[in-house]
Structures are given as C-alpha cells and as structure tokens.
Structure 1
Amino acid sequence: MAQQQLRQRQRQTFRERRDFLTEYSDSQLIERFRLDHAGILYVTDLVRDALGSRTARNKDLSPEMKVAITLWYLATGKMQLCSSDDFGTSQPTVSRAITQTLEALAQRDNFRRFINFPLTQQELQQKQEQFMQVAGFPGVVGVVDGTHIRIIAPREHEAEYVNRKRFHSINVQVVFYATYYRILDIVAKWPGSVNDASLQ
C-alpha cells in the first residue's frame, strides 16, 4: 500500500502548455515578448541547435518555447514562478530554459553578429586614439550614456515606468564609439523611474 502511494506521488502530471505563437497576434506578441512572430522565430533560429532536446522525453521544451519563456521573463521581469504558471511548466524548468537560452545567445558567433566590441590590442589602441583626437581624453574605448525611450503605459507595474519628466519610458543605456556614431552596446531593460546611476 505504501509503495503504491509513493508511486502515485512520483508519477508526473503535465499541465497543458500554451502555444503563444498561434494564440497571440503580432501586436499582442510585441506587448508581451517585445518581438513579433517573425522576431521570435528569428531569435529561435539563432540558438535552435544549442537548445535542441538533450533527452528522449516527450515533454521536453521545444527551442521555440525556451526562447519564448526567456523573452517573457526579460520583457516583463516577472518572477520565474509566475512565468511557470503562465507557461504550464515547473519553476526549475523555467530556470533551466532561461539559463540555456541566455548561454546560447551569448555564444561568440551570436555575440559577434550583433556586437563588435574591440577585442585585440590593436583594435583597443585604435579606438583610444580616435577618442583622444575627439576630446583629448586618453584611454577611452567607448562612452556610455542613458536615454529614455517613450513607451505605451504597461498594464503591470505602470508607475515604475513613469520617468522624472512624467512620461512612460524605458531607461536605455547606450555605449558608442568615437566615430561614425556606431553603437557598441545597448541595455534596454530598466523602467523609466530607474536612475541613470543604477544602469549596468
């Protein structure tokens, strides 16, 4: 009797997983994930091989679902437990999906496709010389500043997105080179109420 109860407790139950790509329109996807259908598939294709199933289990998350979970988490800042409720998965599964997806996106090939930070000593020296010519300031590779990008008021945590100028925004950190107005890096995750000194 005790063994039978133990087996019943150990038996996994699977909640129905939602198919967000067919459930929502492009505008609804952008509101929730910050990307439309094509954008989500584009990101998924970048990391599909790295996110493929490592097990033979038939309930393993697809690469599309792992990317969707990660985008949802990054776009909304919702706790992983809330995300697990939204997606019909366990919190540990959400945590693993986010970790795997971020690690895959941070791989050198993906990183270099979108961000071209100078890595060699020659590149670093060239950027430093360019800034020296512009402002006479030595040892600078890139400069950083913040800017507020106006957004539609979100449904959740609306007050956090109101900046000091009283409109809804995301406080975006931008790093750029001395020449050609080239953007080196962007961090677009902070609500408008966050002070520039807190950006990183």
Structure 2
Amino acid sequence: MEIALSAAATALAIEVLDDSVEQDNDCDDFVVEMMELGVILWARDEPKARIRGYVEKAVSMYLDNDFRKHFRLTRSVFDVLLAKVCTWGDVCSNLMRGGRRPISLDKRLLIILWYLGSDESFRQIADRFGVSEPSAHSTVRRICAGFLLHLRKVVIKWPCGMRFNEVKTGFKGMKGFPNVTGAIDGCHIAIKPPSDDRDSYINRKNFPSLLLQAVCDHQMCFVDCYCGWPESVHDARVLRNSDLFN
C-alpha cells in the first residue's frame, strides 16, 4: 500500500512539474512537498542514515570563534538576524504548511548561512543538518528569495541626512580626503557558467565568475551592491550601468 501510494505521489509530482512551467510559486511549493512525500514513503522500508543532532549538540557547543568560522558571522549578529526572521510573516506561515513536523527557524537560518558560505551541495547540507534534500532546497529558496531580499533594502542603503555628513567626516578623519561618501571596488564571484556563452564568464585567473561592485562607508558597512555582469565586461561599464552611476 505504501509503495503504491509513494509511486502515485511521485508520478503526480512529475506530472505537475511538467505542467507548471507557467504557474506561480504555489505550484512549485506543491511539487516540492509531493516529491518530499514520495521520498519519505519510499524510505520507510530502508531508513536513510543522517547526521542527527548537529545543530542541537554540536553547534550549541561551538565557541564564538568557531561559530563565526563556520557561519561567517558572530552569535550576536545571528541572534539579531533570527529575531528579524521571526517577525517576517511569510516565513512563519510557510513553517506551518503541510502535515510534517516543521524545521525550527534557527535551523533553517543556519542551513541558509551554511549554503551561502560554502560550496557544498544540497545533498551534503541535508545530510549535515539531518533534513531531506527537498526541505533544504525549499528553505533556501523561500527565505533567500523572500526575506533576505526584503532585508537587503533595509540594511544596504545609501547614507542620507545626518548619516551622510557622518560618513564624510569619518573618511576625512581616516585619510584626510574631503567629501568622500564611499569606497568602491569590485570582486569575482565564482559561478557555473551557462553552456552557450561560457567564454564570456572566464576571468583573468581562468575560472568563470560574475562581477560584484560594492560600496562601503568608513565603518566598512555596505551601502550599495550591484552584481550580475560577466567577467569579460570592464569595471567602468559595470559602473556606468549601475543605479549608483545614474
């Protein structure tokens, strides 16, 4: 009975996936959930071995320095970020969808930070955090595409008013340059290039990347970020096409 049900669930997910090219995100969520259901039902006969208690046992014992090395921020900053996630209604409502036991918000946020700060696959991340691969993918997609983009507009913003004068004073006090409101530079973000135009993304160090243009204030806080151009494009062209230039 379980095998038949799991096969039917998987077949239904594949059928919906084929018909959902022009559908909205709700359909994508349904496909993920149905595929996850199929995986769970198939796995009942042969339980899949996963790392258990990594967040609850290992992460909770990390010293502050170890926590920062693994997740690229301090515990105090993580707590602030977690508090902001908790106030975002879309994330909390998604936690209650479906009949499975929801993954805690702190674990979801740790999964996202690990994904953003490492080059591990979803299979490796799911194994480390003791969740299914569809759950890891869904967590990253929902929160990155929603909350983090929303938070970006709040945190990364151009200084204005009193802050504008504070930044200029800060730069002048550091290096003696007057009327400086930001320090601009660029860097390479390694990517898997598209197969039809791979050469355009190869940089001078011979690996494919995108260009990130960023501006920081005197306290090294980002005030503007612009990304998306392939490496073959000159930095000046990236600047001219950015909102910062306009």
Name the TM-score class by shorter chain: 0.5 to 0.7
1:104 and 2:147 matched: yes
Counterpart of 1:89 in 2: which secondary structure?
coil
1:116 and 2:194 matched: no
Q: What are the within-5 Å matches in structure 2 for residues 1-200 of structure 1?
A: 3=1, 10=41, 15=50, 16-19=52-55, 20-50=58-88, 51-52=91-92, 53-55=95-97, 57=99, 59-102=101-144, 103-107=146-150, 110-116=151-157, 144-146=184-186, 173-175=213-215, 183-186=222-225
Q: Which amino acid aligns with 1:115?
A: I
Moved over 4 A (4+): 4-9, 11-15, 195-200
CA contact under 8 A between 1:44 and 1:64: conserved in structure 2?
yes
Aligned-residue sequence identity (percent) comes to: 20
CA contact under 8 A between 1:176 and 1:185: conserved in structure 2?
yes
- In structure 2, C-alpha distance between the alignment counterparts of 1:101 and 1:198, rounded to whole Å: 33
Change (3 A) 1:117 1:22: same
Change (3 A) 1:94 1:183: closer
Q: Which has the higher helix share?
A: 2
Gapped regions of structure 2 (runs ≥ 5):
7-39, 160-178, 189-204, 206-210, 239-246
Count of residues paired in the alignment: 146
Counterpart of 1:83 in 2: which secondary structure?
helix
Q: Which is worse superposed, 87-96 or 51-60?
A: 51-60
What TM-score do the two structures reach when normalised by structure 2?
A: 0.46
What TM-score do the two structures reach when normalised by structure 1?
A: 0.55
What value does the CA root-mean-square deviation take over the aligned residues? Answer: 4.2
CA contact under 8 A between 2:2 and 2:41: conserved in structure 1?
no
Gapped regions of structure 1 (runs ≥ 5):
119-133, 135-141, 149-163, 165-170, 188-194
Q: Which amino acid aligns with 1:113?
A: V
